[in-house]
Structure 1
């Protein structure tokens, strides 16, 4: 009997960070042991050295890389596989900022390819929880010159140039490569990004690690990556409708929608997407029905990968549930460069 692909869960890859905390455990119920500085849970990763491993079903114990080698376009879609081959194109995370992260920027595809043989890093954030008064940085307040930027950096007055945004649950920020940004203290969020771990750290608030060492800064590298334009609308505006799918971000790298369910079953047909679908549970829980009545459940803080070959499924929530739905855009059918 042929064993078909099914909704896949993966073991979280937990990352201790200088700025990390305990919300991945206290809010999202992930097992972090005695650690008090866990900043990231990599939910779905194809990054070399940090490749996700399946935690459910008959494929349990297999890595995402192995699945791509075996199932290819059945897992990710024909056009996605043609473009990206055996490299999974997205990195999915939950981030707990118990302290402010460094002010940083990411290179675009062209710069990352030439310097690091890597994809660039465009990303988005969905705020799940925020302490009172918590804020983040995204972009410049106004168009800024390089000399003005370097002077502010030298005088440790970079905050004067950058746009700060107080946040609340449900806020969305799209961060294209080149935009200076930083997650602020007291924020728990979901992050969707290109598969890349390239970050240029601009300023780290003069922090020291446990050994008293300052983290490396990348002033010169960052200068070539930064988009110095400013004054735009940095927060993504959207109006969610209960029991429907609301698109919140559309980019060349991923499309993300919010599914807000309340005692409702939503039927999904992904045949036309030619892409895998990722579901991240932001609130509550839901059951995913597929292949004539088989079921997998997802609850707050969990992530699940729906293979492209699973053309139809439904999502049913007995009570209030919010999910982020992520898939690839209509990529051009071309060989990977």
Structure 2
């Protein structure tokens, strides 16, 4: 099969906290004013991405994996994950604060939900003045102290707030309490998992007037109660080179500030490659074809491609592999 650079139809999600930046900033074809998420590349059951360009248009990601296996994913990826696509790629627009939440690790998620845990990272693409994220605690907290704060409504007093700007990047490991604040547009890279423990939702009600479900008891054994300054990712932004950002067991992410032509020999890369365009536009070529990627778009390159050419006068790309 001709595994040229593949684009997929975004899976758009309305959320209570969603807004209009996916439409107005990233040019998604959206009529709703409360769209919070654009799932760019997904193997989640019920939300399988479908190719939108070229001769494979209309083919699902799952069909591609079944037909091509290691040629698409990489031999080592198939050995670890079988026919499951291991990464979920999103753009998120928070017009309001998201709920405060956390995700269990692989062991706990397997025991409780027969699922992977959820390690993730955020790259801030746009933020309103003063916009913040919640990441972790502002001090070491005992479990009893945490429970008391939930019961008496003082949980926010224990939260660590981080004011953000474009380009800021954060690594959110399992167990770390977090929330995206109002006014933040970001790119999210995560394990393929939809397991979330919501612990506080600002007492919001859904469209039917009901408070959203909290997962207070489930969260107790999943939370990391210690204060850790381990979440802000420091990276270089030299032009036309691979600037390393995150390297964890679940994904590797690099930042590329592209102002010219850049050719990568990926002969030894036993993994697919994902490019998220977070600024400008670029042409991406591989062994089978080429595609134009603009801000807010995502492209999948098959593991069988051994050379990737990136061409742009001005583009910012996140490169993601396993």
The TM-score normalised by the length of structure 1 is 0.94
Q: Which SS does the other structure have where 2:268 is aligned?
A: helix
CA contact (8 A) 2:284 2:292 kept: yes
CA contact (8 A) 2:287 2:306 kept: no
Between the aligned partners of 2:135 and 2:88, the Cα distance in structure 1 is 20
Equivalent in the alignment of 1:284? 280
Equivalent in the alignment of 2:300? 305
Between the aligned partners of 2:202 and 2:79, the Cα distance in structure 1 is 43
Does 2:187 match 1:193? no
Instruction: Spell out the pairing of 1:119-130 with structure 2 (5 A cutoff).
Output: 119-130=116-127
Instruction: Spell out the pairing of 1:159-198 with structure 2 (5 A cutoff).
Output: 159-198=156-195
136-145 vs 273-282, which moves further: 136-145
CA contact (8 A) 2:280 2:294 kept: yes
Between the aligned partners of 2:221 and 2:234, the Cα distance in structure 1 is 30
Q: Which SS does the other structure have where 1:132 is aligned?
A: coil
Equivalent in the alignment of 1:149? 146
Between the aligned partners of 1:186 and 1:155, the Cα distance in structure 2 is 28
156-165 vs 197-206, which moves further: 156-165
Q: CA deviation at 1:260?
A: 0.3
Q: CA deviation at 1:245?
A: 1.1
Does 2:243 match 1:265? no
Write out per-residue CA displacement over residues 173-205 of structure 1, whole angstroms, 9 at most, x where no aligned residue: 000010000000000000000000010000000
Equivalent in the alignment of 1:56? 53
Write out per-residue CA displacement over residues 204-236 of structure 1, whole angstroms, 9 at most, x where no aligned residue: 000011211000000000111101111424311
- Root mean square deviation, CA, Å: 1.0
CA contact (8 A) 2:191 2:250 kept: yes
Unmatched 5+ stretches in structure 2: none
Write out per-residue CA displacement over residues 270-303 of structure 1, whole angstroms, 9 at most, x where no aligned residue: 22120000000000000012237x4211000000
Between the aligned partners of 2:233 and 2:15, the Cα distance in structure 1 is 28
Q: Which SS does the other structure have where 2:221 is aligned?
A: helix
CA contact (8 A) 2:13 2:38 kept: yes
CA contact (8 A) 2:236 2:244 kept: no
Does 2:202 match 1:205? yes
- Match 1:322 to one of 309, 313, 316: 316
- Match 1:251 to one of 248, 251, 264: 248
Write out per-residue CA displacement over residues 127-183 of structure 1, whole angstroms, 9 at most, x where no aligned residue: 000000000011111211001111111122112111100000000000001000000
Between the aligned partners of 1:210 and 1:296, the Cα distance in structure 2 is 40
223-232 vs 70-79, which moves further: 223-232
Equivalent in the alignment of 1:222? 219
Between the aligned partners of 1:117 and 1:75, the Cα distance in structure 2 is 25
Unmatched 5+ stretches in structure 1: 329-337
Q: Which SS does the other structure have where 1:58 is aligned?
A: coil
Between the aligned partners of 1:211 and 1:42, the Cα distance in structure 2 is 25
> Aligned residues, how many?
322
Q: Which SS does the other structure have where 1:236 is aligned?
A: coil
The TM-score normalised by the length of structure 2 is 0.98
